[in-house]
Structure 1
Amino acid sequence: MALRLTVFGATGGIGQELVRQGLAAGHEVTAVVRDPARLTVTGPGLEVFRADLTDPGALRPAVAGRDAVLSGLGARSRKEAGAGTATRVTVPVLRAMEAEGVRRLLVVSAAPVGPAPEGDPLLDRVVRAVIGALLKDVYTDLTAMEAELARSATDWTAVRPPKLTDGPLTGRYRTAVGTGPRSGRTISRADVAHAMLTMIGDPATLKQGVGVAY
């Protein structure tokens, strides 16, 4: 069934994949961007919407009447994370959706935000702790973003990948609702986008964090 989708962060690695795969599946896709020149995806069914991401009122036309909103928004550096970028740009999206009565939202978070998988090997737990310390500001920001999701009126899903790669779309990965796949260390941006599009209609993922990994 063709859906009407809006993608935020459409010029990022996951965002462009969401747009590309959404169009390939026959959906109508509105790509919300700050700089249209950075969007390399084209095709029938695509609408490019330029907007100030800090103004919920300006975002309302981009989400009105949509079946789902997908977001690849987030900090591109530790400095941006320290400024709470993921939270700051996600809250206006939430307010715009609530104002328009649009409920389904899927966002990109990160594996360390969720609980560690039960039975994870010691090496994976050590690596997780080290990465968590090195990127503390990033995960603090994403944790705050997920708290905003939980307080919202949306039917949200926070998709939590581990280390991202530029590998190909395979469609072969593991998911775990509420936690992460055991020993899940990497996944391509293309497969994260595939997982997000697949989860749109999955009621088991509503108001949940979902780990995705190979």
Structure 2
Amino acid sequence: MKLTVFGATGGIGGHMVRQALDAGHAVTAVVRDAARFELRHPALEVAAVRGLTDPDLLLPAVKGSDAVLSGVGSRGRKAGTTASDATRGILGAMAATGVRRFVAVSAAPVGPPAEGEGFFGRRILLPIVSAAFKEVYRDLAVMEDLIRNSGTEWTVFWPPKLVDKAVTGRYRRVVGGNVARGHTISRADVAHAMLAALGDPATIGRAVGVAY
């Protein structure tokens, strides 16, 4: 497949690029500054753009792709509307080029409490995390609304706390809900799950919880 990855210099995006190349895909990695992206590969194209809010700037990176994946997200509690603004631009470029498949990362607190979640997770942990990062999750909720109304063949992933560990390919996944008592997952395994969704029609038009 020919894939376009946004947020390629981020934790999840970087793993998606590397794993996709290892799997034999051709990848266009979209970055703000090509000098910050040191990976080189015969099947890799690096597209440097000034920003992600103008669909016209993104057209060359998206045109001809079989799917678009986004690891774009907030880098802090006060990141404003980073995720929704970027996603609006990406979706505009997809509409203009006719690319249909879109897989993006959100966050577990944006989704509903997991079925079977314990008292601590539902009544203590989730409210604390949601309050601490309320601006981030508000932006991600707007992003998800844009995706759901985009007319694309979309999948959104809801990971919990992200950690830096090697990819294992061993995690739990819930289509349409969050993972009960799933408190962490590595960025590498979120990338693995997002790439795996490209071959899974059951994830189209659904949010997917993923956690250990």
TM range (shorter): over 0.9
Aligned: 1:105 with 2:102: yes
Partner Cα distance (2:74, 2:161) in 1: 15
After TM superposition, the score normalised by the length of structure 1 is 0.96
Backbone CA RMSD of aligned residues: 0.8
Note if contact 1:19-1:41 (Cα within 8 Å) is conserved in structure 2. no
Partner Cα distance (2:138, 2:106) in 1: 11
Which one of the candidate residues 116, 119, 129 is aligned to 1:119?
116
Q: Deviations over 1:23-82 (max 9, x none)?
A: 0001000000001122132212000001131210111111111111000111111111xx
State the match for 1:174 in structure 2: 172
Q: Structure 1 residues 8-17 or 70-79, which shifts more?
A: 70-79
State the match for 2:83 in structure 1: 86
Partner Cα distance (1:165, 1:38) in 2: 22
Partner Cα distance (2:158, 2:190) in 1: 9
Name segments (4+ residues, structure 1) moved above 2 Å. Answer: none
Amino acid at match of 2:151: A
Q: Structure 1 residues 38-47 or 23-32, which shifts more?
A: 38-47
After TM superposition, the score normalised by the length of structure 2 is 0.97
Partner Cα distance (1:143, 1:55) in 2: 21
Give the % identical residues: 57
Counterparts of 1:135-214 in structure 2, within 5 Å, are 135-214=133-212
Note if contact 1:16-1:41 (Cα within 8 Å) is conserved in structure 2. no
Partner Cα distance (2:38, 2:121) in 1: 36
Cα displacement (A) at 1:167: 0.7
State the match for 2:74 in structure 1: 75
Q: Deviations over 1:135-157 (max 9, x none)?
A: 11111000000000011021111
Gaps of 5+ in 2: none
Note if contact 1:16-1:39 (Cα within 8 Å) is conserved in structure 2. no
Partner Cα distance (2:115, 2:77) in 1: 29
